[in-house]
Amino acid sequence: MAFDPFPENRAAPSDYRAAPTDDRVKTKPPVPVKIIVAGGFGVGKTTTVGAISEISPLTTEAEMTMESVGVDHPNRATTKTTTTIAMDFGCVTIDHTLKLYLFGTPGQSRFSFMWDDLVRGALGALVVVDTSRIDDCYPAVDYFERAGLPFVVGVNTFNGQQGYNLDEVRWALAVRDDVPVLQFDARFRGSVRDALLVVLDQALDKALRMRQT
Ligand SMILES: Nc1nc2c(ncn2[C@@H]2O[C@H](COP(=O)(O)OP(=O)(O)OP(=O)(O)O)[C@@H](O)[C@H]2O)c(=O)[nH]1
Ligand SMILES: [Mg+2]
């Protein structure tokens, strides 16, 4: 038989075997999922992203000046001297099929004009709450309710100090029953991971509901 110059027309060698299916799956890049970490001023959003990110997180911290005294009210227990002025960015691989890209919002309300751009394409959000300043997170809760984006309320415990229990926080925020309200510690990777997995669950639930309709 004449030599066929086109390799795709040549017969496969007799010992040819297709690579095992799961090897091929493993070589596919993980599906990117965008998650927002939002909440009021100084509640621990940057800390949350930094605790879990597998790359050095991209941060946009700027020194707080005297101008913000009396305007921004951080938790008294922190020694906070900087604030996020644009966004935080980090990522974490959940497994070979899924990678989370985390975007932290700025906390000061004067930067709220950036939220629409930051949130575009996101599948879910973690709203971080400091129970000593619960009302600071109302704008974030309102925003995600209006946007119809699945979200989870994560109460950052600030050294185990928590002014209210989770039922009281749920009542104060008046979130729907299907919105999880959980406790986590923004400083610890495992704790942040567990909170983000609940956000993922919520996003998946919504995707499945939309498929059925
Ligand atoms: N003790 C304690 N400190 C925390 C905890 N979470 C955050 N902090 C501290 O609280 C301060 C504020 O945390 P950030 O992560 O900067 O808060 P943020 O929400 O990103 O703040 P903005 O971007 O300015 O709105 C930092 O000094 C953190 O080290 C916590 O769980 N316990
Ligand atoms: Mg921040």
Q: Tell me the pLDDT tens digit for each residue of 175-211.
A: 999 999 999 999 999 999 999 999 999 999 888 888 8
CA terminus-to-terminus distance, the chain:
57
Neighbours of ion ligand 2 (CB under 5 A): 45-46, 84
Domains in the chain (CATH in brackets) are 31-212 (3.40.50.300)
The residue whose C-alpha atom lies closest to atom 7 belonging to ligand 1 is 44
pLDDT per residue as tens digits for the range 83-129: 998 899 999 999 999 999 999 999 887 788 889 999 999 999 999 99
Instruction: Name the pTM for this structure.
Output: 0.84
- Give how far Cα 196 sits from Cα of 51, 140, 141, 177, 183, Å: 12, 17, 17, 19, 12
Least confident residue range of 30-39, 105-114, 138-147, 156-165: 156-165
Q: Rounded mean pLDDT of the chain?
A: 85
Taking the centre of ligand 2 as the mean of its atom positions, its distance from the CA of residue 61, in whole angstroms, is: 7
The Cα 122–Cα 36 span in angstroms is 7
Report yes or no: 40 and 140 within 8 Å, Cβ to Cβ: yes
* Residue in 80, 127, 132 to alter for ligand 1 test, most ligand atoms within 8 A of Cβ: 80
Least confident residue range of 22-26, 43-47, 128-132, 164-168: 22-26
For ligand 1, is residue 180 a contact (CB within 6 Å)?
no
- One-letter amino acid identity for 27? T
Position with higher pLDDT, 184 vs 15:
184
- One-letter amino acid identity for 41? F
DSSP 133: G
